[in-house]
Amino acid sequence: MDKILKKESEINWMPHPVAKGVAIKLLVTKKDDGSTASCLLVKAVAGAEIPEHLHEDSDDIIYPLKGKAKYYVEGHGQGDLIPGVLVRVPKNTKHRIFDIEEDLLAYDVFTPALF
């Protein structure tokens, strides 16, 4: 049976696969939980950047919990990434996070599951 209750404090941070100064915490994954969506926390220190990339098969939904940065989504332009703003990046669309002015903590969902 899949685990339906987890404590975020018991899940370890791991380095982001490509971005220096950025860490991820995998909260719910297809591999570990059999989920159709991946849910994670992303934290980035001021001055870090998540370079332009895309996810071929998954939408990426980003909801910042704290901090201040800028985002860019191909075909939609750029804007402020701050608490209260939700950004949905359609699958196969280039995007990036940059100009991180204040340490950023974001809730990130991939659907279908990326991890």
34: left (phi over 0), alpha (psi -120 to 50) or beta: left
Which CATH topology does 47-107 take?
A: Jelly Rolls (2.60.120)
pLDDT for res 91:
98
Is residue 34 scored above 70 in pLDDT? yes
pLDDT for res 2:
56
Question: Each residue of 9-30: pLDDT tens digit?
Answer: 999 999 998 899 999 999 999 9
- The encoded tokens of residue 35 equal 């989920």
| For range 46-62, the mean pLDDT | 97
